[in-house]
Amino acid sequence: MRLPIGWLEVFTPLEALGLTDPLRAHSEGVRALVGTLDSLGLVVEGVEEHPVAADGVVTAKVLAIHRIEGADRIRLVEVDDGSGRIRPVVCGAWNFVEGDVVPLALPGVRLPNGAEIGARRLRGVTSEGMLCSAPEAGLGSDASGLAILSPSLPLGVPVREALGVRDEVVLDIAVEPNRPDASGVRGVARDLAARFRAPFVDVTGVLTRQDPRAVTVEEGAVDRLVLASLEVRGAVLEPRVARWLVLSGMRQISPIVDATNAVMLETGQPSHAYDRDRLAGGVVGVRSARPGERLVTLDDRERTLAGGELVIVDGSDRAVGLAGIMGGAETEVNAETEQVLLEVAAFPRERIARAARATGLRTEASWRFERGVDPAVAHAVCARVAALVGVATPMLVADVAYATTPRRIAVRAESAVAIAGDPVVLESFEPDAGLSRLGFDLEPDGDGWQVGVPTWRPDVTDVADVVEEALRQVGYDAVAPTPLIGPRRDGPTLRQQRERALSTLLADEGAFEAWSVTMVSPSVEEQLGSERVAPVIANPLRPEESVLRTTVAAGLVGALDHAVRRRLEPARFFEWGPVFWQEGRVVNERQRLGLIVAHAHDGGVEAGRWLARLVARAGLELGPGSVQLGPGGPGWPRLHPSRQAAVIDDGLVVGVFGELAPDVAAALGARRWRYGVVELDADWLAEPRPLTASSTLGAFAASELDLSFEVPWDLAAASLAARVREEIGPVVRDVAAFDTFVREGRRSLGLRLRLEDPEGPISEARVREVIEVARHAGAALGAALRTAPAS
């Protein structure tokens, strides 16, 4: 909420708050005020300085308007600036006539927008100054023409002096939902006055003139409804209020509408003005909208209502406004309006919130109604609107009030101290102290008080709320700090330790841990998901994420897609996360570990290698029959039809690994790499058992060595790889077959060795030694090394 500091003076003297003129954004008083607001829970997020026009902008009267030869868009205006001489000024505005009083910027003055005014010749005519619009004079936001001032103002007087306006500092205050009273200047001023023990003058007013009419209000539709009739001929908004309105971020529309907006910003109570002559019966009522009912709102949009929203209706039951949100276009106040019907209401908060969500229409009024307004201030609001535009006090047309019992809360002193954590909170319960100055009614009751909650605080409902208000006034910095002592924790659980250890292994091997949303596209789920039923989300945030994933791989595909589109390949991702499936009306959940890794030639083989590392690190053993070629079955991801296998333990499928299906990889644009997928049951993988020593990335660069062997027809590649690895020893980090072919009746097999030495880089001599050991290892199985790098 934007708050001009000068507006506070309507309710409390600025001097009593430590502020003196002139107001400057970085003055000591403003800095202190910002600190006080922060301590009251009204955090100031920004401070701006808005100067009004300098003394060189004076009031001047238009005496004559002349056409300039050869100019269609500008005219020569003769004005009386109070100096006793007629001053010629060239002007391009057309919204004024002879006799109007307007702001005149004299030569040499600098305007608030930075423009410097001087005498100059235009179309052969000398212009001695500039006639100003409202923004140019720092008075408002209407730039459509000159600012037309009151004809009763003296001439030649600085505009700031004639209108009683001054420089302003605007605070941008964050108002939380639990502070509905602070949605207006009135509430902020009350808080400050209570803290500084300064005088506070509330808005008051009772409508004694009456023009009673019968109105129809649906039961439960309002907490209070006040209607008042107001003659608006000659209405002019006070200049300083108009400026406050603009500085608060509101645009100017017409004097009466501007007044209702100003009073809303001032008191936190919205009101709405209807052109009474365009209302059937000259009155309005409140009811629930009918399904399909239509209404054109002030933004010129026709809205079809779902039914149940509160609408304002006239005497013929025609909807003329969306209650608490926006009025209707058919009864809008315009320049010809002579009499308005002012509606001030307190609507049920939850109904306004639902209607705002249903229509997608949120306004300044709905923002306040959703938080709660003060039903007791209705008469004062009507009187204040009339006072701001200088017209007669309104006549009361109707006052529909529903009796409400003032809320009283019993507060024990012991309870207050226990909640606050410091006896200093009791200072606010003393007579003429914090709570009573905020409007709370304190009645002593034994060792505590019966606290009456004021009508403008609908958010205060229990003892904790009362203590919070007391603490805000005492100041949280006055409360002695108390160390927080939480329940004892002996560190992570065994399962958490195991999951972290496995995550460390994957990270050491170059994989990135991902967090993917559990909501996925139905198309991805259909391509990659399990054969189980994916739960459908009733109200998805995005249509392309409308089902819950049945496999972790379905979620990781999104991370892979992100990497591929940004050419961040080869990509490796893993994630611990939940999967879901639906059985009847029951949605089941299970934790899994998912992994996607890239390989240039065979994603399935690469997935198998990563699976072996994980299983070994977890202290598991996969014996004969633990890996079965083919799909894992219901509940596991669908992979490449001929490049997938299931992991079996005690007759149950506990995981799958293989290569990403070709159609999924093609859709991702992953053409340079083939992706392996591993998905394992987290409960099985993290089952308590001794962990093996973790391998980490070496400090020195690894080397790859490709060797080709002529092998017997019956020698398995895995047997040759295992023998070579065993003979060479720990310097070989990995051995895998990468190529096989048959030529002239002979079978050849290619092995790729990854060499790492923790003691230093792999030297050429060490490579030659590895080749010789590999040669002898192969020979022991009947395999002959075909080629070897030159020494």
Say if CB 550 and CB 520 are below 8 A apart: no
pLDDT greater than 70 at residue 36: yes
C-alpha 779/C-alpha 785 separation (Å) is 8
Residue 694: which pLDDT band, with cuts at 50, 70 and 90?
Answer: very low
pLDDT at 483 over 70: yes
The amino acid sitting at 103 is: P
**76: which 2 tokens?**
């020569």
Q: What angle do CA 576, 582, 587 make, to 5 degrees?
A: 70
What average pLDDT score do residues 25-34 get? 87
Strand order through the sheet with 395-401:
271-275, 339-346, 224-231, 395-401
pLDDT, tens only, 165-215: 888 899 999 999 889 999 999 999 999 999 999 999 999 988 988 989 999
Q: What is the mean pLDDT of residues 344-349?
A: 94
Which residues is 3 bridged to in the sheet? 171
What is residue 691's predicted lDDT score, i.e. its pLDDT? 53
pLDDT of residue 337: 92
The band of 630, judged by pLDDT with boundaries at 50, 70 and 90, is confident
Is 531 marked as binding a ligand? no
Q: Rounded mean pLDDT of 741-768?
A: 84
Q: Encoding tokens for residue 339?
A: 């009499």
Task: Output 761 or 183, whichever has higher pLDDT.
Answer: 183
Residue type, 247: L
Contact assessment for residue 555 and residue 519, using Cβ atoms and an 8 Å cutoff: no
pLDDT tens-digit series, residues 217-234: 999 899 999 999 999 988
Tokens of 319: 């909807």
pLDDT band at 307 (very low <50, low <70, confident <90, very high): very high
Residue whose entry in the numeric block shows the structure tokens 């893993």? 574
DSSP β-ladder status, 448-452 and 441-445: antiparallel
List of residues 6+ apart from 339 with CB closer than 8 A: 229, 230, 231, 232, 275, 276, 277
Lowest mean pLDDT among 72-81, 138-147, 243-252: 138-147
Q: At what angle do helices 255-267 and 378-389 cross, to 10 degrees?
A: 140
pLDDT in tens, 61-105: 999 999 998 888 899 999 999 998 899 999 999 999 999 999 999
* Cα–Cα distance, 26 to 32 (Å, whole number): 10
Who contacts 364 (Cβ-Cβ below 8 Å, separation ≥6)? 250, 261, 264, 270
Query: Other C-beta atoms within 10 Å of 573: how many?
Result: 24
pLDDT digits (tens, 9 = 90+) for 553-570: 988 888 888 887 777 777
Residue 695 has pLDDT above 60, yes or no: no
Q: How much is the average pLDDT of 127-139?
A: 90
pLDDT at 690 over 70: no
Please state, in angstroms and rounded to a whole number, the distance separating the CA atoms of residues 52 and 162.
Answer: 12
Q: What are phi and psi of 709, to 5 degrees?
A: -120, 145
CA distance 692 to 703: 25
Residues 700/757, Cβ–Cβ less than 8 Å: yes
Average the pLDDT over 673-690 and give the result: 83
Q: Which residues pair with 62 in a beta bridge?
A: 79
**CB of 451 within 8 A of CB of 441?**
yes
Burial 264-301 (b: 16+ CB within 10 A, else e): bbbbbbbbbbbbbebbeebbbbbbbbeeebebebbeee
Is residue 355 within 8 Å of 369, Cβ to Cβ? no
* Residue 459 is assigned to a ligand binding site: yes
Q: For the ranges 305-319, 445-459, 622-636, which has the lowest average pLDDT? A: 622-636
Angle at 553 between CA 547 and CA 557, to 5 degrees: 80
Q: Among 127-131, 140-144, 329-333, which is the least confidently predicted range?
A: 140-144
Q: How confident is residue 453, by pLDDT bands cut at 50, 70 and 90?
A: very high
* Contact between 77 and 130 (Cβ < 8 Å): no
Q: What does the pLDDT average to over 718-731?
A: 87
Greater model confidence, 206 or 270? 270
pLDDT > 90 in the chain, percent: 53
Half-sphere exposure of 10 (CA within 13 A, CB side): 22
| Mean pLDDT value across the chain | 88
Q: Would the CA dihedral through 587, 590, 591, 593 be positive or negative? A: negative
Sheet of strand 652-659: strand arrangement: 512-513, 573-583, 586-599, 674-681, 652-659, 644-649, 627-629
Domains and CATH numbers, the chain: 2-51+168-196 (3.30.56.10), 57-163 (2.40.50.140), 224-401 (3.50.40.10), 412-478 (3.30.56), 494-685 (3.30.930.10), 703-787 (3.30.70.380)
The pLDDT of 705-713, averaged and rounded, is 90
The Cα 645–Cα 663 span in angstroms is: 19
Percent above pLDDT 70 for the chain? 96
Q: How much is the pLDDT for 775? A: 93
pLDDT above 70 (res 790): no
CB 442 within 8 A of CB 449: yes
What are the backbone angles phi and psi of residue 223, rounded to the nearest 5°? -90, -25
Q: Is 465 annotated as a binding residue?
A: yes
Say how far apart CA 626 and CA 603 lie, in whole Å.
Answer: 20
Please state whether beta strands 703-711 and 746-755 pair in parallel, antiparallel, or not at all (unpaired): antiparallel
3-state secondary structure of 526: helix
If one compares 614 and 692, the residue with the highest pLDDT of the two is 614
State yes or no: pLDDT of 677 exceeds 90. Answer: yes
CA distance 125 to 242: 35
Q: What's the pLDDT at 665?
A: 79
Confidence of residue 22 (pLDDT cuts 50, 70, 90): low
Of residues 491 and 260, which shows the higher confidence score? 260
Q: pLDDT digit string (tens) for 351-384?
A: 999 999 988 899 999 999 999 999 999 999 999 9
- Listing from the earlier edge strand, what are the strands of the sheet with 44-50? 2-4, 168-173, 44-50
Q: Is the pLDDT confidence value at 290 over 90?
A: yes
Strand partners, 41: none
pLDDT for 737 equals 81
Reading the block at residue 58, the tokens are 């004076």
Reported as a pLDDT band with limits 50, 70 and 90, residue 21 is: low
Residue 12 pLDDT greater than 50, yes or no: yes
How high is the pLDDT of residue 725? 87
Name the strands in the sheet holding 746-755, side by side, starting at the edge strand that comes first in the sequence.
Answer: 732-743, 746-755, 703-711, 784-787
CA–CA separation, 562 and 102 (whole Å)? 61
Q: Phi/psi of residue 6, each to 5°?
A: -60, -25
Per-residue pLDDT band at 37 (split at 50, 70, 90) = very high
Instruction: Identify the pLDDT of residue 344.
Output: 96
Is residue 692 pLDDT above 70, yes or no?
Answer: no
Most confident of 22-31, 465-474, 745-754: 465-474
469 labelled binding-site residue: yes
Six-digit token string for 454: 């004021």
> Does position 699 have pLDDT exceeding 70, yes or no?
no
The answer to whether the CB of 414 falls within 8 A of the CB of 464 is: no
- DSSP-derived secondary structure letter, 491: S
Mean pLDDT of 773-786: 92
